Structure 1
Amino acid sequence: MASPTPPAAPKLQINGLSRISESANSSPVAPASNDRTALKLNMYRKIRPPPFRHAWSFYHEKSSFAVDAAAAYEERLTTLLESIITIKTFWECFNQLPLQNLKMRDSIHFFKRGVQPVWEDPRNVHGGSWTFRVKNHVSEEFWKEMLMLAVGEQFSDAIQSGDDLCGLSFSRRFNSDHITIWNRRANFDTSVTAIRDVVLAQLSDDLKPKEGTYYYKAHSEHKGFDEAIAARKKEGEADADADVKMERAKVEEGEAERVMLKEAEAEGI
């Protein structure tokens, strides 16, 4: 009998954007309590950056023009890969997202685990977002640098206590793509300003946005917000769940060790 074929790297089919393979995250291997396993883990820690502070998920959102306009938001939203907690898995996924083939008005979202990229999620209901209009020819590089700031906790470390970074979105448009940064509290002016200042200070010089190409808006100011909140309340999800979702986003030490051991085994370490 032929030996089994090793799992392929994560793939993304742009027609319908199928879910990315979770080979890097699934079936976690519980670390054994022997010296060899401990040695392997220590070695891997030395040659790889530490795991992220939070777990992240990639989503694909189809434009309402591509599906029935009356369809529930969840029907347009596909989870591509969740519980991304190492830079290795992040790059495997990111490199399989051919944004140049993303259909007009479709979006890719990168959010903390347990938080959906919707206004009515308990983590977002009182929040807002910065929107940057970025020319198509540089938008992918802009998006990549923004994601690096997010996983590097540059935004979270800058905003004030009681607020939180929820996620980022890339939306395909005709001339200028929209890249947004979502935070939890729209009324925390210090946080809102801090997020903008991180972008202006940290992005590469040739990517820095010009005045007038970006703005901040509370989710509650959007048309359709009240209807979305009413529908979510009818489903019975309370704002009190928000702090629980924040805890779900944090990476626990045991979880990180399982993922890092699996990666080490895949690399033959």
Structure 2
Amino acid sequence: MAACSSPFKMSTGAMESEVEKKQESETEIPMDFSIKHPLQNCWTLWYYENDRSQSWEKNQKEIASFQFVEDFWSLYNHIKSASELKQGTDYSLFKKGIMPMWEDKANHRGGRWLLSLEKKQRANELDRYWLDILLCLIGEAFEHSNEICGAVVNIRQKGDKIGNIKIKYNICRAYSGS
């Protein structure tokens, strides 16, 4: 059997020692998958479905709370996407201990930023916007993240809405110039 020609001038012995060096430098580092990455805040996901026989507050259902990045992704990957929710329902993600309602003390004198999407945008854009807002919330990426209590996505017949809830009163005043 003929030997293959090589453009490299290296003896077999030299090649073996290079392979050994490479193997020694590439020692495998075991991955510890039990390590979790904590978030600055613990968050709670809520689901709202209108049942006219119950109060608005009782229609809010607490789904789960999480305080680690990995737990967020586990939850997110096991729930319906916002675009799959039926009409008249909401998802809300709020800091743990704050209910997604204006009557909660933490939301007192708050405001909201609102993003309205036409129904035709639901299939292509709603899920992306909702995920971007969730990641900004849990990653504390907003300029005044400590002032933001949560976000809500409303699925409605005429169009969907996404809003950040509760920018404290003094920040709202600063933006409005009053």
After TM superposition, list the pairs within 5 Å mapping 1:71-220 onto structure 2.
71-82=54-65, 84-98=66-80, 99-134=82-117, 135-137=121-123, 138-155=125-142, 158-159=143-144, 164-189=147-172
1:8 aligns with none
Post-superposition offset of 1:153: 0.4
RMSD between aligned residues: 2.6
| Identical aligned residues as a percent | 22
Of structures 1 and 2, the larger Rg is shown by 2
Larger strand fraction of residues: 2
Mapped contact 1:159–1:192 kept (Cα < 8 A): no
Amino acid at match of 1:136: R
Post-superposition offset of 1:44: 5.2
Cα distance change of structure 1 residues 179 and 91 upon mapping to structure 2, 3 Å threshold: same
Post-superposition offset of 1:95: 1.4
Amino acid at match of 1:129: R
Post-superposition offset of 1:72: 2.1
Cα distance change of structure 1 residues 176 and 186 upon mapping to structure 2, 3 Å threshold: farther
Structure-2 separation of matches of 1:175 and 1:95: 27
* Displaced runs of 4 or more, over 6 A: none
Q: How many residues align?
A: 142
Unmatched 5+ stretches in structure 1? 1-42, 194-269
Structure-1 separation of matches of 2:155 and 2:175: 24
Amino acid at match of 1:93: L
Structure-2 separation of matches of 1:143 and 1:76: 21
Mapped contact 1:159–1:190 kept (Cα < 8 A): no
TM-score (norm 1): 0.48
Cα distance change of structure 1 residues 106 and 192 upon mapping to structure 2, 3 Å threshold: farther
Structure with bigger RCO (C-alpha 8 Å, 6+ apart)? 1
